[in-house]
Each structure stands twice: as C-alpha cells, then as structure tokens.
Structure 1
Amino acid sequence: MKFPTKATVLKTTTSAGVVALVLAAGAPAAQAEDIIKIGHVAATSGPIAHLGKDNENGARMAVDELNAKGVAIGGKKYKIVLQAEDDAADPKQATAAAQKLVDAKVQGVIGHETSGTSIPASRIYYDAGIPQISPSASNPQYTRQRYNTTFRNVANDEQLGAALARYAMQQVKAKRIAVIDDRTAYGKGLADEFIKNVKRGGAASGSSIVSTQFTNDKATDFSAILTAVKATKPDMIFFGGMDAVAGPMLRQMKQLAIPIKFMGGDGMCSDSVPRLAGNAMSDGQVICAEAGGVEPSQEKGMADFRVAYKKRYGIEVQTYAPYTYDALMTMVAAMRKAGSPDPAKYLPELAKIQYKGVTGNIAFDARGDVKDGVLTIYTFKNATREKLAVVK
C-alpha cells in the first residue's frame, strides 16, 4: 500500500500585497514505505495455545528474516507486516477473525491452525479473493471445496491416516486396536481415515479395530471410556486429537494399568506431550506422525531452523512453526514471481509454485494440497522426541 505524497504549500506576495497560497504539487515530501500486510490466525488462547503460538512464532521468524534481507517485488521495495489474530480453535471466532483480516485488506493469510477453523474461514477468504495457506489443517474437506484460494503445505488426513495404519500393522504389529477421537474436524477425520485403512489391510496383517470411543477436545476425565477400552484387551490405542487431551489421557491409562502403545497424529506429536503426561509415559510407548518431514539431504535446514527458533524464543519448536515459516515464505515467493503482491496477480503463481523450504519441496496439486506429502514418524525417549522414519 503506497501513500500519496502531500503537496507543499508555499506563501508568496503579489504586487498588490496580497498573500497567495501556491500549491507546489511536485515538491518533494517524505514517503511512507510500501507495505504488504499478511494475516495469521491460530489458537493463541485456550488449551492448545502453545501450539497456536508456535505457529505464530514461525510466521514472525519469516517476516523478520524477509524484512532484514529486504523485500523487492516488481522493482519496488516493501516491508511485510504480520497481522496476527486469535481464533481460540473456535469456528465462530475463526470466521470473525477472517472477516477482520478481509476488512483490513490483507494480501494473504497464513492459517488457520486447525481444520475446524480453517474450513469455515476459507469461504470468507475465497469470497474476497485472498490466498490462504494453512500450515497445519489436515482434514481433506479443507481443499475439496473447489476454492482456488485454498492451499496447505502439510499432508492431509488421508495420507496421515494411511501411513499411521501401515506403521501400526507392519512395524508395531498391533493386532487389537482401540480408537478414541475428540469429535473435532481434525480428530474425527484422522481417526476415520486410520480405521478405514486398518480395515482395508487387516486381512493381511491380522489387525482389527476392537473398540471405538469418543471424547471432546476440552475433556479431562477419560476413566469411563478407558475402562470400556480396557475390557476389549487392545494392544494399541489410536487417538485422534491434540496433545492437551493426549497427555492427561496417558496419565489415566497408567492409573488404570493400560501400559500399551499409544498412537496419534501431528496434533499430539509436540514436545509438550511428556510434560502433559507427567511421569506416565514410558520410553517408546507413544508413536505419532507429523504431517511433513525432510529427506536426509534437507535435514540440516530443519536443524538450523530449530536452533534459530530456540535462540530467539528460548523454547523448542512444538510442531508447526517450520511449516508456518515455509507457508509465509512460499506466499512471498509467489508475489516475487508475479512481480506484485496483488492477490489476483500472484494467486496463479502460487498455484504453480516450486519452492524449496526447510520442511521440504513445496508444490501444490489442482486442489491446493501439497504434492508428494511426506510424514515423519516419531516416538519419545527420555522425554525427548526421537525420529523413527520418514514415509509417504
């Protein structure tokens, strides 16, 4: 956004002694910088605020790095400003935040954090013609609404659920699996994909789903559903939900003497899980997958990012910060290719972008899903997350 210069007002005196005002329209005046305003939305309050803040931190690192190096687009220099909003992982608050960003005339949006907020907000951005990249929403529905403004740079639940099911059956050799989800768009969507893939591959592996239970994303007492699960004698629990629920659930599993494997997706794959679980989590018990990952040739870039993040914020990356960083960098790369930050002009470039990020190579398919999405399988040992494998 470029602000016009003000004309300079000069005083002069005519032969009759009358003071006249002369507008020197071409006189030099101070100019404000050209601004690119990018919105960011995540849950920076509520039970998963630590994950939402992680997202926001990643976006701020990208903005600061770009501004420090200088952003030149179409021969002009720009300053990027991040307008960060909190949706508290609530769909209604998400749509209000989305409308606020549209009214503020942002040129792009990074977010939202969860599927349950990204899906309703995406219609608002589509109607306004504003490109949106979510670094963490994995429900397939997000990119299946035929909105050409909607993208994500992480694998979706179809990929995540399939990969986790294969790992559970082929590597863990789980035979009797109980499934619990938190009824959110993310948690239920992931659990449904996992169940579908276990049923598909169960005949060959001998694996089956022995119990399905559900809770909610704010629950703290799981004794009833865990007791029901225990009665089915499972050797693994799959949980579709976030770490704020997974941690307390692990504590109650220990109290009820259910020392079995506990598997889930990226929502419960943060470094906060050991803290939230207290001393209830044994080494190797938890297996989770992050919707992203880097091949060996790119591991140094991710490691360097983690070091820089900790140096700046004094904490470890939770889960999504590198993907948020890459999402914003990818959006600006599209603006540079288009020679303009105008959404209508850079949107076509975003759709066909090829960007090498710290989380991998980023390109989008016709729906806006990341192409060739990879996943990283982790466990926890000595309260530290440890990589097991990178899979597709």
Structure 2
Amino acid sequence: MSRKPTSGDNTGRKRKSCLRPEFIVVLLGLILLGIHQEIGEARTGTAPDITIGIVGPMSGDMAELGRYVREAVGLQAEEWNDKGGLLGRRIRVLVEDDHHDPKEAVAAAKRLVRARVWGVIGHLTSAASLPASGVYHAAGIPQITPSSTDPRLTEQGFRNLFRTCGRDDQQGEVAARFVLDALHPRRVVVLHDQTPYGKALANTFSRQIMRRDGRLLTTTFTLSPGGKNMALVLEAIKAKQPDVIYFGGIYREAGLLVKQLREYGVKATFVSGDGVIGTEFVSLAGEAATGTYLTFAPNPLQSPSAETVMKKFQNRYGAIGPYSLYAYDAAGALFTAIARAKPKAAARPELLRVSQVLHRTTYMGALGMLRWNRKGDLVNPPYVIYETRKGGSFQGWFEQVTGRPPQPRG
C-alpha cells in the first residue's frame, strides 16, 4: 500500500544536508578539543605507558627466584618513574609466568608480543629462554636475560638478545680449574639433571677435566626429573668412591642430592654452578651444604657500585636474591638504550634500533661496567668460587674463595 506525499514530505525532492550550521560548529570544536588533548598529553607526560615485560617462573618450586627478578625490575622502573619516566612516559611492567617450562615460555612470549611491550627482562632459565627467544627475535623485541647461561642462546645470531650473566662454558672452565688446582682429586664423578642448563655445564666441565687429565674422570650420571632415580644414582656413585662430585643442575635437585650423599656415607667434595647458589639450596641440604663449592659472579658486596642498591633492596623487600642485581642492571641498561634510541612506538623497526644502541652501550650499573659483544654476551664476565659456610658474606651462607685452596675448618 502506497502513501501519498504530504506537503511537508521531502520524498521525490532533492535531498538536503541534515547538518545545521550550529552542529558543524560543535563538531569542529570537538575535533579541535581532541587535538588539543593529544598535544597536552604529550606535553604533560600522560601519553600511553611504555610497557616492559618481565617473564620467568612466578609459580611452582622456582617462584622465589621469579619474585626476586620481578622485584628488581620493579624497583628500577620505580626509580625511573620518580625521575620523570622514559621519553616523557611512565614505565609499566607486565609480568608473565613461564612456569619454568619450554611450551609455557613460548606462550608467555607470544602474550608479551601481543601486549606490544618495548622490551623483555627474562627468561630466567635456559630451558625457557631458548624456545622463547625466537618469538622475540621475530618481533624485534629486545630481550635481556639475567640468568640464562646456555652458550647456545647467543650462538643463534639474534641481534636483539643479551644477557647480564656469563655462559656455562665460562663457569665450567673455572670450576674445572679450581677442582684440579685446589682440590687435587684422584677420581671425579659428573652428573646432571637433564636440563639444557645442567647438560651444558656438565659437558663443559667434563671436557676441561679430560683435556687436563682424562684418567680422573670416571662416569657421568643423569638424574631424572625430580630425582626419581636418586637411590640408584647414589648407589652407583658410592661404588665409584670419588673425591669430587660435579653437578650440573639447579638448587632443588642439588640440595636433595647433597643431603642424601652424606646420608649414604659419601664424603666427596660437592661442586656445582650458579643454578645452585642461594639460600634455597641451604634449606634443602641442611648441614650437608657446608663445605660445598659453587661458581658464581664476584660477591656484589665487594663492589662499591652495588652498596646503595643493596640497601634499597633490603629496606624495601628485606632480602635480595642471587640474580636480583643482574635483573636490576638488565632493566637499567634496557631503559637507557630506549632513552637513547628514542623509538616512536613498539614496532619492529623502532625496537631494532634499541638493540643496536645496546650493542654500542657501556652501562655502569650495580654490578659495575657492562658491555656486550656482537653476540650479546658480556665482555669478560668474571666467575669465582664460593664455599658454602654459615656466616658467609654473601646471603649469609657463601664466602668467595676465588680459587684459593680450601681453608681447614676447626
């Protein structure tokens, strides 16, 4: 049914604009107001935050290490924000949990990419860093790990990847030299926990021992995840009657291993790497931890540049972890590089400039002077030997002996 047009109907006529002049004026005013607000945000520092990713084991049996790193990066970010932020913006940290698992690490990395982070501090373990590093490389996001020591990580040729720690082949060599020159063993047993970190450390140590005197090395054993085959390994080690046991792995298995070795009557000197040092190892091993030797970076308490930062940590959190300063300096170096590169957005070409600046940067941090080579490894990273004993100057349990022969204990 059709309707006849009435006198006030515009049907069939040329359609006119429905915008009245006063509406146009209001619309132009709103547009100009929006432009003014954007300019004002840029001038007053209220532009969108610069988001930095922190990723590591934030839950599970390694959650305490993850917490230390989260606190360290957070403290560095707060200090920058108190001084005006970064490029006129506030720094916001976004924390992801990789559960110390390779698959979860990749998933966490992809979430950080989607969040358009400007850089990543993490992961903690080599098992997580290795698979996740490809995700950051594809996105051009600068990644600085405070504790992943597997040599393969920086051998990939990723120009966006850096670390503030050393490499397993470096600390394995230091450990082997200490064992041979200070402990003078007749038999050495090597074992690892089957993680990429543990294998790399054990293999490097074994190669150095074989190079000097292959007759000393007896057997290499492997621990199953969680130490499920611990009893079988302990019996096999006891039968070898070693003077020195070298373990490639982390503190959880190391603590249980040392404790049960002593219960089995094995008195061999226990030596391991930086994945073990920390009060968690002492808690698990108990009195059996005393007299063990561990490779790590020089005691930060001996560095004047670390004193102020250490006090900040202790006043704020009450405790400092073994990798707190490494994460703190990683964040400081990243923020400094962003400030110098002045990227306009979290886009791949812009973020690649940040990595280029990092390669040219000499950063003075809590750990002293940090400088990276073409691979992203530190130039001349030091490793020393610590003896575990109550009252040690580092974390109250570890005393740097720097390769000196062990002192007699009364």
Q: TM-score range by the shorter chain?
A: 0.7 to 0.9
For residue 61 of structure 2, what is the aligned residue in structure 1? 47
Change over 3 Å in CA distance of 1:79–1:210 after alignment to 2 = same
Answering whether residue 128 of structure 2 is matched by residue 117 of structure 1, we say yes
**Which ranges of 4 or more aligned residues in structure 1 deviate by more than 4 Å?**
17-20
Give, as a single letter, the amino acid of the residue that structure 1 aligns with 2:71: N
Give, as a single letter, the amino acid of the residue that structure 2 aligns with 1:271: T
TM superposition shift of 1:350? 0.9
For residue 10 of structure 2, what is the aligned residue in structure 1? none
For residue 65 of structure 1, what is the aligned residue in structure 2? 79
Choose from 342, 360, 371 the match for 1:339.
Answer: 342
Distance 1:336 1:293 in 2: 29
Structure 1 segment 149-168 matched on structure 2, within 5 A: 149-168=160-179
Choose from 221, 236, 239 the match for 1:228.
Answer: 236
Change over 3 Å in CA distance of 1:223–1:70 after alignment to 2 = same
Contact in 2 for aligned 1:43/1:113 (Cα 8 Å): yes
State the TM-score, normalizing by the size of structure 2: 0.84
Contact in 1 for aligned 2:387/2:399 (Cα 8 Å): yes
For residue 3 of structure 1, what is the aligned residue in structure 2? none
Percent identity, please.
Answer: 31
Structure 1 segment 223-372 matched on structure 2, within 5 A: 223-282=231-290, 285-290=291-296, 292-293=297-298, 299-315=303-319, 317-340=320-343, 342-372=350-380
Distance 2:28 2:186 in 1: 84
For structure 1, the residue ranges without an aligned partner over 5 or more in a row are 1-12
Residues matched between the structures, number? 367
Contact in 1 for aligned 2:299/2:400 (Cα 8 Å): no
Answering whether residue 28 of structure 2 is matched by residue 23 of structure 1, we say yes
State the TM-score, normalizing by the size of structure 1: 0.87
Give, as a single letter, the amino acid of the residue that structure 2 aligns with 1:293: P
Deviates more, 1:264-273 or 1:300-309: 300-309
Distance 2:286 2:169 in 1: 31
Distance 2:182 2:308 in 1: 30
- CA distances 1:172-217 after superposition (whole Å, capped 9, x unpaired): 22331111100101011110001011111226xxx72112101134
> Would you tell me which structure has more strand in proportion to its own residues?
1
For residue 386 of structure 1, what is the aligned residue in structure 2? 399
For structure 2, the residue ranges without an aligned partner over 5 or more in a row are 1-19, 345-349, 392-396, 405-410
TM superposition shift of 1:351? 1.3
Answering whether residue 156 of structure 2 is matched by residue 145 of structure 1, we say yes
CA RMSD of aligned residues (A): 2.3
For residue 4 of structure 1, what is the aligned residue in structure 2? none
Larger radius of gyration: 2
Contact in 1 for aligned 2:303/2:368 (Cα 8 Å): no
Contact in 1 for aligned 2:120/2:143 (Cα 8 Å): yes
Choose from 211, 216, 238 the match for 1:208.
Answer: 216
Distance 1:46 1:273 in 2: 16
> Would you tell me which structure has more helix in proportion to its own residues?
2
Deviates more, 1:20-29 or 1:254-263: 20-29
- CA distances 1:131-159 after superposition (whole Å, capped 9, x unpaired): 11111000110011111111111110110
